[in-house]
Each structure stands twice: as structure tokens, then as C-alpha cells.
Amino acid sequence: MFPHKIGSAWEVPAPAKLNLYLDVLGSRTDGFHELETLLVPVRIYDQLLWSASPGAGPGTSLRIRSLLQRDSPETAPINAGANNLVCRAAERLAQAAGIEPQGTFDLYKRIPVQAGLGGGSSDAAAALVLANAAWGIGYSRGRLIELAAGLGSDVPFFLGGGAAVCRGRGEQVQRVAGLPHLHFVVVKPPASLSTATVFGQWAENAAPRGGLAALVASLHGGTLVQAGRRMVNRLETAAAALSPWIERILGELAKQSLCGRLMTGSGSACFGLARSAWHARRVARLLSGKDLGSVFATSSC
Ligand code: C5P
């Protein structure tokens, strides 16, 4: 994530992510769950801008413009208050650096919320990077990652670039280099799911574990059908018990000639692994007419 300067303002694109593998290893005493997950950033972007607000005094304000595709009233509203992760990230950075936060953030939302696509976490990472540059703080990426972990489990992932295996709550990030360019079709149903609720519904089961190394090897080797078979999300059963959309969308994806299909994160979005950009666009076009919600053709970045 690299901010650009435009006159006296700063801007950074905030990508979404897909989990190609998500194993829940157990619950922890701190209320979180121990994870092993493969995250890939994808080209569905929010955009975050920061500009000075002359004469406004200390403190930041946040304006949100929703560019989301048409969604149903079931979709969770975006919180624009001080509790928004963008404001919390800026506040945390200012506190750590011992300065007064200032200026206006403009957030252009394209990533569906409560979808398992990491939009809120990516926005928080973008706010850290942007405020670090705009306020001339000059913290290293490592220092920003330390602050990021306290904001959300996925925030450290977004501060780096490219795919990564994440462990712990998700905050222990190990980059995976050399993956091929991957193409996806993503479907976000009208219903959203809360991460905490889905984790709350998760139950230990006796399914065989492992397979992450084999998945990464298949991706490195470009054997996408094999990779598709190795994609696993251990939160799928919990999410499917909360929303009928998960099975419905996975069922629709199964009817297409995709290499694999999976729910991302804690849902409610699901995705298919396509053979090419053209294939992803063709399947997206087919699914767009089926009243499944928002459909995107996208690729890894
Ligand atoms: O870290 P984040 O704010 O994204 O987590 C939201 C909620 O999801 C947590 O409060 C927790 O209930 C659940 N969670 C979890 N285990 C994780 C990550 C999230 O139980 N590894």
C-alpha cells in the first residue's frame, strides 16, 4: 500500500482480499480463534483520501461515499462515526506519535461490508499509511504493523503487498511470493454476516486438517483445478447455518465450469477460481442475471 500525493492531499487505494484457505485450529482464552489462512489481495478497491481542513482545529472528520452496487436493506450500514476503523486508526497513530490528529478523510466504498472481503481492515491499513505520510510521522512499515494488530486481525496483512499465510488471530503475516496471477468471480449476496457471530457459531469438528502447503504448491505450479479442490474454509458450515445464501451461491458457482469455489473469510461473499480473466468475466455475466446480489470479476494484485 503506497500513498500518492495530489497537491496538498494524499490518496491510497485499499484492496479487498479473498481467503483461499481458512482453518480454525481452536478457540483461545482471549475470545479470538487460532487461524491458519491464505489471503490474496484482489482488485476490488475502496479509495481513501486525506486533505487538510484549514481553520478546523485539531481532530479528524470522515466523509463516506458509497459506490456499492445496489444492495438490499439487509446490508449492514457503514458506520461513519468515530468508531469507524479509519478514525480509530488515525487516532491510534496520532496517539503513538504524540501529535494532534487533523484533516478530513474521504472514503469511497466499493468493497461490500460484512462480506469477508476485508474492506474495513483494508481501510484501516490505508488510514495508517495515509496519516503516516500526511502528518510527516515517518514510521517504518514494521512500526505501523505493530499498531495495526490492535485495530483488527486482518489489518497487518493489508500493510504489505501480495498474498500471505496468516496465523495466530490472523496478525502473524508470512508473505507468499511467486503465486501466478489468479482470476476470480466474487458474489456478495444481499445478506451480510457479522464476523463475531460466525466465529461464535463455529464448532470443533473431526474433519481432517492440513493441506495448506499442498494448496500453495498447486498454485505455484499453476495446476488450478487441483488448487481449487484444495481450497477449504472451516467457517463455511457455521456461516451456512446462519444464512441460506451461502449454500445457494456455492450451488450456483458449482454449476459453472470453475476450478474451485469457496466462501471468503466469515462470509457472506463466496467466490469461484476461474481459468482466465475472460473466463471470470463470462461466469460473472452469467451469474449477474440470477438475482444473487453483487457480482464481480476480479483478479489478484
Ligand atoms: O479482529 P477483528 O476485529 O476482525 O475480529 C472481529 C471478531 O471476530 C472478534 O471480536 C472475534 O469475535 C472474531 N474473531 C475470532 N478469531 C479471529 C478473528 C476474529 O474469533 N482470529
The model's pLDDT over 254-277, given as tens digits with 9 standing for 90+, comes to: 999 999 999 999 999 999 999 999
Angle between helices 119-134 and 85-97 (to 10 degrees): 40
Going by C-alpha positions, the residue among 262, 271, 255 that lies closest to residue 229 is 262
Which residue has a Cα nearest atom 2 of ligand 1? 152
Per-residue pLDDT at 56: 73
Query: Which of 24, 25, 32 for a ligand 1 pocket mutation test, highest count of atoms within 8 Å of Cβ?
Result: 32
* Average pLDDT along the chain: 93
Give the distance (Å) from ligand 1 centre to CA of residue 223.
32
268: preceding bond cis by omega (within 30 degrees): yes
How many whole angstroms from its chain centre is CA 146?
19
- Residue from 23, 71, 154, 188 carrying the catalytic annotation: 154
Q: Which of 199, 202, 204, 233 to mutate to test the pocket of ligand 1 (most atoms within 8 A of CB)?
A: 199
Distance (angstroms) between ligand 1 centre and the Cα of 254 equals 29
Instruction: Give me ligand 1 centre to Cα 140, in Å.
Output: 26
Per-residue pLDDT at 279 exceeds 90: yes
Task: Look up residue 243 and give its three cell numbers.
Answer: 444464512
Distances (CA, A) of 251 to 30, 56, 193, 201, 287: 36, 52, 19, 22, 12
Ramachandran quadrant class, 114 (left: phi over 0; alpha: psi -120 to 50; beta: rest):
left
**Size of the chain, expressed as the number of residues it contains:** 301
Phi, psi of 73, deg, nearest 5:
-60, -15
Cα–Cα distance measured from residue 44 to residue 75, given in angstroms and rounded to the nearest whole number: 18
Task: Please give the grid coordinates belonging to residue 54.
Answer: 484549514
Answer yes or no: 109 catalytic: no
* φ/ψ of residue 262, rounded to 5: -165, 155
Within 6 Å (CB) of ligand 1, which residues are found? 31-33, 35, 152-154, 169-170, 195-196, 199
Ligand 1 atom closest to residue 33's alpha carbon, by position in its atom list: 16
Mean pLDDT of 148-152: 95
Please state, in angstroms and rounded to a whole number, the distance separating the CA atoms of residues 245 and 198: 14
What pLDDT, in 10s, does the model give residues 122-135?
999 999 999 999 99
Ligand 1 atom 3, closest CA? 152
- Name the residue with the closest Cα to ligand 1, atom 8: 196
Calpha distance 186→271 (Å, rounded) = 4
| Residue tagged active-site, from 17, 23, 71, 109 | 17
Tell me the mean pLDDT in the region 138-160.
96
In this predicted structure, what is the pLDDT of residue 69? Answer: 65
Q: What is the residue with the minimal CA distance to atom 11 of ligand 1?
A: 196
Expressed in angstroms and rounded, the spacing between residue 143 Cα and the centre of ligand 1 is 22
CB 44 within 8 A of CB 298: yes
Is the model's pLDDT at 291 over the cut of 90?
A: yes
CB-based contacts of 31, cutoff 8 Å, min separation 6: none
Task: Say which residues have a Cβ less than 8 Å from residue 264's Cβ, sequence separation at least 6.
Answer: 17, 18, 19, 115, 116, 117, 186, 233, 270, 271
Distance CA 60, CA 78 (A): 18
Is 17 among the residues known to form the active site?
A: yes
pLDDT of residue 76: 60
Q: What is the pLDDT of residues 185-238, one digit of tens each?
A: 999 999 999 999 999 999 887 676 789 999 999 999 999 999 999 999 999 999
Question: Which residue has the least CA distance to atom 15 on ligand 1?
Answer: 32
3-state secondary structure of 66: strand
- Rounded-to-10 torsion of CA 93, 94, 97, 99: 170
Looking up cell 496517539 gives 95
Say whether pLDDT at 162 is over 80.
Answer: yes
Q: In this model, does residue 75 exceed pLDDT 60?
A: no
* Other CB atoms within 10 Å distance of the CB of residue 197: 13
d(CA 37, CA 154): 11
On the question of pLDDT at 74 being above 50, the answer is: no
Centroid of ligand 1 to alpha carbon of 275 (angstroms): 32
Whether pLDDT at 60 is above 90: no
Q: Give the least confident one: 4-13, 34-43, 70-79.
A: 70-79
- Residue 189's pLDDT is 96
pTM for this structure?
A: 0.95
Side-chain-side CA neighbours of 144 within 13 Å: the count stands at 24
| Three-class DSSP category at 251 | helix
Which residue's alpha carbon is at the smallest distance from atom 19 of ligand 1? Answer: 32
Q: What's the average model confidence in pLDDT over 136-151? A: 96
Q: CA angle 233-33-1, nearest 5°?
A: 75
* Percentage with pLDDT > 90 across the chain: 86
Contact 170, 153 (CB under 8 A): yes
**Closest ligand 1 atom to Cα of 199:** 20
Cα of 197 to ligand 1 centre, how many Å? 9
